[in-house]
Amino acid sequence: MVHLQRLDALMDRYDVLLCDVWGVLHNGVDSFAAASSALSRARQAGLTVVLITNAPRPFAGVAQQIHALGVPEASYDRIVTSGDVTRELIRNAPRQIFHLGPDRDETLYDGLDIELVEEREADVVVCTGFFDDETETPEDYAEMLTRLRSRNLPFICANPDIVVERGDRLIWCAGALARDYSQLGGRTLIAGKPHRPIYEASVAAAEAVRGKPVDRSRILAIGDGMLTDIKGADQFGIDALYISGGIHAGDYVMGGVHDLEKLLAFLDKHGSNPVATMPALA
């Protein structure tokens, strides 16, 4: 494993980049120009870039969001979201759904034969996040999750992230509620990172762009989430570039400086061996 400052050092080794979005290209408030520039250079060098995100909405909404934040279209070829692959879980689920999450995520259901109902009428839960992620914590949902578990309702999680950065704060995501529901013994269904469906969809998108199959040894995943991006890459059998200045930075960054010993200990604790680390994509 090497510690890099620029993506260019790895470009000759890969044909496809599967790049995380939130935490790598932007933080929900500002986009990171150096990261977009790195991906644009990769595309100019002949690589295919697929943005792979645990956003619970279909790709069109994510494209609008990142463009508004300043991420240029020239930095990627395709976007695949957890929302995209979660729609298949919803198609195969009971029709009466309790939507747990903000109204803005209801585009997830566009074109699907479902009915959104109150909690007491539901046969399945689809969780895209918290009703108010600015103020609420997982503890605020403990009673609700206990009620849902008492009815043995399946719990579809459209965003497996536990937390994301929003500016300089960490915001809770749907994955935290799926984790708690699972700990109650509830059945959770998840298609986003680190699970296989989103990687299969992303590779298919890359192959459609390239017009031919892609060797897995020529695919590099890029991300800052150890339990999603890096674990998902490991399980799918592809290389990973760990962006160490993201959501886990508090474990090994002191006074703005990376402590490499602590970083290596952190990676070892998670049983992870990325091909390289980089403080921020550049």
The verdict on 97 and 232 lying in the same domain is no
Query: Domain range holding 26?
Result: 2-83+194-278
Give the three-state DSSP class for 212.
coil
Average confidence (pLDDT) over 159-184: 94
Distance CA 206, CA 213 (A): 9
Is 160's pLDDT higher than 90? yes
DSSP 63: H
Burial 81-106 (b: 16+ CB within 10 A, else e): bbbbbbbebbeebeeebbbbbeeebe
Is 236's pLDDT higher than 90? yes
Q: What are the pLDDT digits (tens) for 43-54?
A: 999 999 999 999
Q: What are the pLDDT digits (tens) for 8-40?
A: 999 999 999 999 999 999 999 999 999 999 999
**Closest C-alpha to 126, from 169, 163, 156, 93:** 156
Average confidence (pLDDT) over 45-67: 97
The verdict on 109 and 154 lying in the same domain is yes
pLDDT band at 61 (very low <50, low <70, confident <90, very high): very high
The verdict on 35 and 167 lying in the same domain is no
pLDDT band at 170 (very low <50, low <70, confident <90, very high): confident
The verdict on 79 and 136 lying in the same domain is no
The verdict on 18 and 66 lying in the same domain is yes
Checking DSSP bridges between strand 16-19 and strand 48-53, what pairing results, if any?
parallel
Residue at a domain's end among 190, 223, 255: 190
pLDDT, residue 7, reads 98
The verdict on 106 and 185 lying in the same domain is yes
Distant-in-sequence, close-in-space partners of 135: CB < 8 Å, separation ≥ 6: none
The verdict on 105 and 150 lying in the same domain is yes
Average confidence (pLDDT) over 205-220: 98
Average confidence (pLDDT) over 196-206: 98
pLDDT, residue 1, reads 86
Is 165's pLDDT higher than 90? no
Distant-in-sequence, close-in-space partners of 274: CB < 8 Å, separation ≥ 6: 1, 230, 233, 239, 240, 241, 242, 267
Entry field: residues in the chain: 282
CATH of the domain at 110: 3.40.50.1000
Give me the chain's average pLDDT, please.
96
pLDDT, residue 168, reads 83
The verdict on 59 and 76 lying in the same domain is yes
199 touches 205 (CB < 8 A): no
pLDDT, residue 267, reads 96
Q: Computed over its alpha carbons, how large is the radius of gyration of the chain?
A: 19
The verdict on 70 and 207 lying in the same domain is yes
Residue at a domain's end among 190, 221, 252: 190
Distance CA 274, CA 281 (A): 15
Q: Is the dihedral of CA 109, 210, 230, 256 positive or negative?
A: negative
Average confidence (pLDDT) over 64-78: 97
The verdict on 73 and 107 lying in the same domain is no
The verdict on 63 and 12 lying in the same domain is yes
pLDDT band at 169 (very low <50, low <70, confident <90, very high): confident
The number of domains in the chain is 2
92 touches 123 (CB < 8 A): no
* pTM summary value: 0.92
The verdict on 100 and 182 lying in the same domain is yes
C-alpha angle 122/154/145, rounded to 5°?
80
pLDDT, residue 218, reads 99
Distance CA 123, CA 95 (A): 7
249 touches 23 (CB < 8 A): no
Average confidence (pLDDT) over 218-244: 98
Residue at a domain's end among 141, 168, 190: 190
Q: Which two tokens stand for residue 92?
A: 């195969």
